[in-house]
A and B are shown apart, each in its own frame.
Chain A
Amino acid sequence: MTPAELPLWAALPASLLLVTGGLLALLGSIGLLRFNNFYARIHAPTLANTLGAGCVLLASMLISSVNAGRPVIHEILITLFLVLTSPVTTMLLMRAAMFRRATGRDHKGTEAPPPAPETDRP
């Protein structure tokens, strides 16, 4: 499909949504870069994962629906699966970080160096 086939009323909101989604993903990545510790960083990619992905999928629905001449909404499933699966990874990472902190091996590695040499790690 070339962009010329798409009517303006669909192309305009679709590109706006795509740009917004892209900006949100960028913002999430900037957050990963800027935040100075793991606990803050874990929150940054959620931007791209929620509203960022939502914007891109909405744009996809709009363009496919216009191209097909009928409502195409199966992108909704991607949203559903994202919402169901991504929290699992996030929670796992969070629990792992908390466990490491509790056992004295801090996420930065430098802050709380283990007293014993690395070799006795199980």
Chain B
Amino acid sequence: MKQHFQPMLPVVLLGLWLLLNDSLAWHQWLIGAALALAIPKLANTLRPLPARPRRLVVAIGLVWHVLLDVIRSNIAVGRIILGTVRQQPQVGFLKIPLDMRTPHGLAVLSIIITATPGTVWAGHDQDSNELTLHVLDLQDEEVWLRTIKERYERPLMEIFG
């Protein structure tokens, strides 16, 4: 199986190595480049399905949105915790039908959802492509549905195709 060269992973790995060593010395570039070229080759046998992320601008926009949402939901969950004096939150599960099929997109979506306070990815049915979402304070189902579908899923589908 011959694949044409994907520069994305090696570049990211090299950047990771330089950051990790906190140095831009020439020998770090050398070791980093060697690792960045070797690791994808070895990892290929572990995960033969290569990810082909495109649309860097969309990806940056998505990261920015997630960052804002994480801060926002930190505040929201903080208020819920302080509000437990009066009442416990309405926890609940929510089924969300997805259109995205690509495994890389789904993996990133699961990380986004779980890393955001107040929501946890609770399962995914491969046949119906339905996501089970657990929400800490289930007030308005429609809002969650729209957030997941439009704010996260659509850009992810653009990125991973």
Contact = CB atoms under 8 A, between A and B. Distances in A.
Interface of A: 24, 27-28, 30-31, 34-37, 39-40, 42-44, 46-47, 49-51, 72-74, 76-77, 83-84, 86-87, 90-91, 94-95, 98
Interface string B96-110: 000000000000001
Given A35-B88, A37-B91, A40-B91, A74 B136 contact: no
Interface stretch (B3-11, B42-50, B117-125, B148-156): B117-125
Contact of A74 (B19, B80, B84, B118): B19
B81 A87 contact: no
B96 to A, nearest CB: 15
Nearest to B121: A91
SS of A interface (majority): helix
Contacts of B116: 46, 50
Contacts of A24: 74, 78
B34 interface: no
B115 A46 contact: yes
Nearest to B111: A87
Contacts of A90: 114, 120
Nearest to A75: B19
Given A24-B78, A83-B115, A94-B134, A51 B71 contact: yes
B22 interface: yes
Contacts of A83: 111, 115
Nearest to A80: B16
Contacts of A35: 81, 84, 88-89
19 contacts: A24-B78, A30-B82, A34-B81, A35-B89, A43-B136, A46-B77, A46-B118, A47-B77, A51-B71, A51-B74, A73-B19, A74-B19, A74-B20, A86-B114, A87-B114, A90-B120, A91-B121, A94-B120, A94-B121
